[in-house]
Amino acid sequence: MSKVLDKIRQEQLKKGGTPVFSIGDSVRVHVKIKEGDKERVQVFAGTVIARNGSGSTETFTVRRISYGEGVERIFPINMPGVAKIEVEKSNRVRRAKLYYLRKLTGKATKLDEEVEPTAHLAATKA
């Protein structure tokens, strides 16, 4: 029975694989919107505050401030309606869920940007 379920789950996964991003990253999610017989791509940009699930049922939550109001959307990673996910910048976070950002406003919501190790530090560690 589990082999059948695994096969179904594999069919539901996207062909290109799952995009690489993590909690705290600023992302641009390109979503396909259908209006009548036309289809267009709309971009939802914000910070990833959570990832839930695994495999074909994995979702992620993106939060942004729009006209002074916090807006969150939950996207399934393997949804056919998600055309592309671009990582704008990676931020260093120490939590798995960033729900505390909901209470913060203004500059307090700014996360620390990840700093690449310099070449001489990387050489000394090797």
DSSP 106: G
Q: Give me the number of domains the chain comprises.
A: 1
The answer to whether residue 90 is domain-embedded is yes
pLDDT of 69 over the 80 cut: yes
11-33 as b/e, with b when 16 or more CB fall inside 10 Å?
Answer: eeeeeeeeeebebbbbbebebee
The answer to whether residue 46 is domain-embedded is yes
pLDDT of 30 over the 70 cut: yes
Q: Which domain holds residue 79?
A: 2-104
The answer to whether residue 109 is domain-embedded is no
CATH code of the domain in which 90 resides: 2.30.30.790
Higher pLDDT, 124 or 90: 90
Exposure of 77 by Cβ count < 10 A (0-12 exposed, 13-18 middle, 19+ buried)? buried
Confidence of residue 118 (pLDDT cuts 50, 70, 90): low
Confidence of residue 60 (pLDDT cuts 50, 70, 90): very high
Mean pLDDT of 32-52: 95
